[in-house]
Amino acid sequence: MAKIGIFVIGLLLLCNLETLAKAGYMVYKDPKKPIRTRIKDLMRRMTLEEKIGQMMQIERKVASVEVMKKYFIGSVLSEGGSAPAQYASAETWINMVNDFQKGALSTRLGIPMIYGIDAVHGHNQVYKATIFPHNIGLGATRDPELVKRIGSATALEVRATGIPYVFAPCVAVCRDPRWGRCYESYSEDPKVVQAMTEIVSGLQGDIPVDTPKGIPFIGGKEKVAACAKHFVGDGGTTNGTDESNTVINMDGLLRIHMPGYYSSIAKGVVTIMLSYSSWNGVKMHANYELVTGFLKNTLRFKGFVITDFEGLERMTTPYHANYSHSIEAGISAGIDMVMVPWNYTEFLDDLTLLVNRKIIPMTRIDDAVERILRVKFVMDLFENPFADCSLVEYVGKQEHRELAREAVRKSAVLLKNGESADEPLLPLPKRTSKILVTGSHADNLGYQCGGWTIQWQGFSGNNLTTGTTILKAVSNAVDPKTEVIYKKNADADFVKSNNFSYSIVVVGEHPYAETDGDSMNLTIPEPGPSTIKNVCGSVKCAVIIVSGRPVVIEPYLAIIDALVAAWLPGTEGQGVADVLYGDYGFTGKLPRTWFKTVDQLPMNFGDPYYDPLFPFGFGLTTEPIKAIYSS
């Protein structure tokens, strides 16, 4: 009897242990299970509050371990210019992101959060990161493979700071350069924009060939989740006014503004961001027909749809008026994640009420959460929620700076080179007695980089990050015996009183971003025009235009000997000197039409009465000096 009793007790104990083991086992935490099985298991465990928490993305300034835990926050972001500290190191970024992650993982279900940041031309908010040319310059290269490599380098630098998600690329088709975001667009031509979506594969990795259409993909811990933006038609607004109305029929919308999304989805893009703008009077953040009907159902996009910053608040005039209605309209249209970014308790309360009152069905919430969780599982966040310091060396890595320099020289477009092909000014001689470098943009790294660099609107000067100005690049390129004289704003008397062999004049736009960049005149601010007239009227001159779009240049063209569109080249100004001095030839082609006067706008290739100063695709070429000598 004693032996039987011991056996029975042992059997009961074994059964209890097995039951306890089963109770502790959660399918969603098992990486061996299919993602769809893990999502289903996790969602059946979640409360409404936990589900709505996943749908919220809050700004880092209001995030904390306590907030993440209390409200089940699904995502955190850095808005433009938002960093843990000025000159913050990669380690500082990592520690901040990991602290927020600890809060997310300490919740009942331990769902990891995802941190997002704008990395629109490199890891642009981080000190000492490599800043690549803005998209308009990359469009001038016509080199999708180069753009893919830039995506890979950017992914490494972003991951080096512990961040797995970027709000890039912008696949807008800018149809009017008066738009303040035109430099975020690769081209006025949807075919060029479509080709440049190779950056998605650079950021996320190459999607396996057998992946079903619309399924999001991330290729490992050295890649990031990308975000195609801003869906859809943001580059076609009337007069180029930011966040306004795009008036076009469905055929035109699909033909001009949609191709970048077709290609991005085919490459497995993980998220898509909605535009502030409207289509024929309907706000994109409330457009069920396009967001759910076309993007989710027709294109079968299975990632998540995210708002732009305060996208719901900005649906109404005045701002934040009838917020509950904006939430209802946006979530019903098909929005999955909301950049709240400050009023997260108000959003939680209002959406909870809308669901409880059955104004928004639970099926819509479940669709949103399923999409968000799918992305998190695809990113392996459940298995690898924390960042480490193993990649910190990639921030500003020399190989990435060399890549950026390559992009700068390939993006520069030569618009004029002497009065005739028989008398070119470029390439310039490296060895001569004395040269002048002048202009507001010659020695200003902030101007050179443009908006979305360290700060949202960009900056002026050379103190907020590291790189090579065009002045420094010229000094590096010329013979040591050549005297380089720099005068920020040279006047005619100064030029005439010196015996300069030639001059390099670097002028252009001041940095801007979004609506602050909207311009109805597109003129170069003073003293840029005065510097051109003072210098080019007195000595041979090569004028370098640093701008995010074509600007008014026709009145000065006759006195300019050589004219180069350098766009917004970023931190590696040496690439400009590479082509000025013939180490490499000019190969860039205009990614958009260069107008004579703003009265012609909007004007795009193929329009009737097309009469540009320089047409779309224009760009003179030069041979490298070595090639000239060897021929």
174-212 per-position pLDDT tens digit: 999 999 999 999 999 999 999 999 999 999 999 999 999
Strands 541-546 and 227-231: unpaired
DSSP lists the bridge partners of residue 282 as 279
- Give, for 267, the enclosing helix (H) or strand (E): none
Q: What is the distance between the alpha carbons of residues 430 and 426, in angstroms, rounded to a whole number?
A: 11
Distance of CA 147 to the CA centre of its chain: 12
- Give, for 59, the enclosing helix (H) or strand (E): strand 56-59
594 within 8 A of 571, measured Cβ to Cβ: no
Active-site entry in 308, 328, 370, 572: 308
Contacts of residue 451, Cβ cutoff 8 Å, sequence gap at least 6: 183, 457, 458, 511, 512, 513, 514, 516, 517, 548
Pick from 150, 124, 123, 128: which is nearest to 137 by CA? 150
Q: b or e along 123-155 (b: 16 or more beta carbons within 10 Å of the residue's beta carbon)?
A: bbbbbbbbbbbbbbbbbbbbbbebbbbbbbbbb
487-540 per-position pLDDT tens digit: 999 999 999 999 999 999 999 999 999 999 999 999 999 999 999 999 999 999
Pick from 145, 160, 256: which is nearest to 206 by CA? 145
Q: b or e along 578-607 (b: 16 or more beta carbons within 10 Å of the residue's beta carbon)?
A: bbbbbbbbbbbbbbbbbbbebeebbbbeee
Residue 62: CB atoms within 10 Å: 14
DSSP 3-state of 273 = strand
Q: What is the distance between the alpha carbons of residues 64 and 344, in angstroms, rounded to a whole number?
A: 13
441-490 per-position pLDDT tens digit: 999 999 999 999 999 999 999 999 999 999 999 999 999 999 999 999 99
Residue 20 has pLDDT above 70, yes or no: no
The answer to whether 308 is a known catalytic residue is yes
Residue 17 has pLDDT above 50, yes or no: no
Strands 114-117 and 165-166: parallel
Q: What is the distance between the alpha carbons of residues 568 and 137, in angstroms, rounded to a whole number?
A: 7
Averaged over 547-575, what is the pLDDT? 98
Residue 9 has pLDDT above 60, yes or no: no
Percent above pLDDT 70 for the chain: 96
Residue 58 has pLDDT above 60, yes or no: yes
80 phi/psi in degrees, rounded to 5: -55, 120
Confidence band for 243, pLDDT divided at 50, 70 and 90? very high
Q: What is the distance between the alpha carbons of residues 220 and 72, in angstroms, rounded to a whole number?
A: 26
Distance in angstroms between the alpha carbons of the first and the last residue of the chain: 105
Active-site entry in 514, 518, 561, 578: 514
- Give, for 43, the enclosing helix (H) or strand (E): helix 35-45
Residue 124 has pLDDT above 80, yes or no: yes
- The token duo for 154 is 């950017």
Q: What is the mean pLDDT of the chain?
A: 95
- The token duo for 542 is 């090569």
The answer to whether 99 is a known catalytic residue is no
Averaged over 135-139, what is the pLDDT? 99
CA-only gyration radius of the chain, Å: 27
Averaged over 35-39, what is the pLDDT? 98
Strands 304-306 and 271-274: parallel
CA-CA-CA-CA torsion for 508, 510, 513, 514, nearest 10 degrees? -70
Pick from 257, 255, 254: which is nearest to 237 by CA? 257
Confidence band for 5, pLDDT divided at 50, 70 and 90? low
Q: What is the distance between the alpha carbons of residues 512 and 480, in angstroms, rounded to a whole number?
A: 36
DSSP letters spanning 304-336: EEE--TTTTGGGSSSTTTTHHHHHHHHHHHT--
Pick from 163, 157, 136, 161: which is nearest to 147 by CA? 136
Residue 21 has pLDDT above 90, yes or no: no
Residue 310 has pLDDT above 60, yes or no: yes
DSSP lists the bridge partners of residue 507 as 545
274 within 8 A of 296, measured Cβ to Cβ: no
Q: What is the distance between the alpha carbons of residues 535 and 198, in angstroms, rounded to a whole number?
A: 42
- The token duo for 18 is 């097995």
Averaged over 3-21, what is the pLDDT? 46
Q: What is the distance between the alpha carbons of residues 547 and 564, in angstroms, rounded to a whole number?
A: 11
Inter-helix orientation angle 362-378/35-45, to 10°: 130
Residue 503: CB atoms within 10 Å: 26
Residue 116 has pLDDT above 90, yes or no: yes
Q: What is the distance between the alpha carbons of residues 138 and 156, in angstroms, rounded to a whole number?
A: 19
486 phi/psi in degrees, rounded to 5: -110, 125
DSSP lists the bridge partners of residue 228 as 272
Residue 11 has pLDDT above 80, yes or no: no
Q: How much is the pLDDT for 14?
A: 45
Confidence band for 24, pLDDT divided at 50, 70 and 90? confident
Residue 413: CB atoms within 10 Å: 25
351-377 per-position pLDDT tens digit: 999 999 999 999 999 999 999 999 999
- The token duo for 336 is 């999955």
Percent above pLDDT 90 for the chain: 94
Residue 13 has pLDDT above 50, yes or no: no
Strands 541-546 and 502-508: parallel
pTM of the model: 0.95
Inter-helix orientation angle 323-333/344-356, to 10°: 70
393-416 per-position pLDDT tens digit: 999 999 999 999 999 999 999 999
Q: How much is the pLDDT for 420?
A: 84
Q: Residue 614 carries which DSSP code?
A: B
Q: How much is the pLDDT for 18?
A: 45
Residue 66: CB atoms within 10 Å: 10
How are the residues of the chain apportioned to helix, strand and coil, as percentages rounded to the nearest 5?
40, 15, 45
